[in-house]
Each structure stands twice: as structure tokens, then as C-alpha cells.
Chains A and B, each alone.
Chain A
């Protein structure tokens, strides 16, 4: 079945550091890939997405590239801020199923 694996957290960085959160997936066909962010006490919000191989999703300084050859969708940001502290979820939706599959989430803490 479909699955998503993310690097374990928590990840703790200093402000302005470079961020990478790894995400790999297993799926049939050509799924769409997503990153969602959850701030404390809130629901999940779509951060970015990519629907086909080699697409790059980007938003708020974050970006991720759909790599079919490595089945990966790693999230990156060049300079994190304290306000980026949240839990980040990688997710996929394949072309056959109706439901989304989420990774376990990675908690990011950014220190001033």
C-alpha cells in the first residue's frame, strides 16, 4: 500500500539556519505530493504541493521538488524564522485512491 516516511523530529535550529526535512514515499503510479504545516493549537494548512515529476512547489520561502527517481519530496528553506516553529507533514494522494496518506510529522523548533 501507499506510505510516507519522514525524518524523525524534533528538529531544533537557530534563526536563519538552513532547513531540510526529508520525505520519501511508496505509491503506485504518479501520486501528487504535499507538505502541510500545523501551528500550535490549529489544524493543518497546505504549505506547498507538486503534482508531477520534477515539479517544484514553493511558498513562504519553503520549497520541495518532486523526485520520482528517488521517490522523495524533501522540504527546504534557506533561512528559518522563529515563526516557522510548527509540525510539518508530508503527504501523498495517488491517482487511484480517494484518500490522502500522511507521514508521521516532524516537529521544528526555531530558537532566536
Chain B
């Protein structure tokens, strides 16, 4: 079982609020990812990081930002939430070498902006 944790699991906030979704992994993985997914639908990569102080935008444009100050921690921030940001956000990670050949996911953070 993967050791990757996301908080909060569920969040309802008002428009214009700032929110941070937390993601931590205890596997020492270098690579971490954020995906956006509508329920049961396609995954869209919005951010990824190959290590500390490395962050890149993914295939889907997103108004969110990320940081990678510590290997184990990869938070995602929305400065001003809007209803269009309502979605599930999945954090994931992979390691080096053989362990880099499997991607592990957290349980997801469900965000609703009202």
C-alpha cells in the first residue's frame, strides 16, 4: 500500500477564498504530480515536480500553483477559488530506478467552490 496522504479529503469553500491542498509522501520519491479529475472521468496533469525546487506545469492549464521545498511535501494552492475549480485533485508520486516504474496515488481531495 502506498504511503501518500492528501488533506483535506473534502472541502467546501466560498468564491474568492484562498485554499491549499496538502500532499505528503513517506516513500522518499523524487517525482510528484497533481492531477485534476471530474468524478470517474479522464485524468488531467496540471503540475509535476522532479525534485526539490523543481516545478513544471502539466498538460492542462491551471490557475493553481505548487511548491516543492521538501522532498516529501508538494502542496497545491489556489489564490482565489472559483466555481470552475470544483473538481477532485489527485496527488501522486514515483521513485527512481525500478520504483519509478509505478505511480502511486493519494486518495484525492474533493473541492467544491460555491
Contact B107 A42 (CB under 8 A): yes
> How far does the Cβ of B76 sit from chain A's closest Cβ, in whole Å?
15
> How far does the Cβ of A75 sit from chain B's closest Cβ, in whole Å?
17
> How far does the Cβ of B101 sit from chain A's closest Cβ, in whole Å?
5
Residue from the list A43, A91, A102 in contact with B107, Cβ < 8 A: A43
Q: Which of B92-114 contact A (CB under 8 A)?
A: 92, 94, 101-108, 110
Cα(A104)–Cα(B40), bound, Å: 9
Q: Cβ of A34: which chain B residues have Cβ within 8 Å of it?
A: 102-103
CB closest chain-B residue, reference A102:
B43
Q: Which of B34-92 contact A (CB under 8 A)?
A: 40-43, 45, 48, 50, 90, 92
Interface residues of chain A: helix, strand, loop or mixed (majority): strand
> How far does the Cβ of B19 sit from chain A's closest Cβ, in whole Å?
19
Binds B, one of A12-20, A21-29, A45-53, A63-71: A45-53
Q: Cβ of B107: which chain A residues have Cβ within 8 Å of it?
A: 42-43
Q: Cβ of A91: which chain B residues have Cβ within 8 Å of it?
A: 103
CB closest chain-A residue, reference B102:
A46
Q: Verify if A93 is at the interface (C-beta below 8 Å from B).
A: yes
Cα(A42)–Cα(B94), bound, Å: 19
Q: Cβ of A41: which chain B residues have Cβ within 8 Å of it?
A: 108, 110
Supposing A51-B101, A105-B41 touch, asked if A42 and B108 sit within 8 A by C-beta, the answer is yes
Supposing A42-B108, A43-B107, A99-B33 touch, asked if A49 and B102 sit within 8 A by C-beta, the answer is yes
Binding site for B on A (CB under 8 A): 32, 34, 36, 38, 40-46, 49, 51, 87, 89, 91, 93, 98-100, 102, 104-105, 107
Starting from the known contacts A43-B108, A46-B102, 6 additional A-B residue pairs (CB-CB under 8 Å) come to A34-B102, A42-B108, A43-B105, A46-B103, A51-B101, A102-B43
Shortest Cβ-Cβ A-B pairs, 6 listed: A43-B105, A44-B105, A104-B42, A43-B107, A87-B40, A43-B108
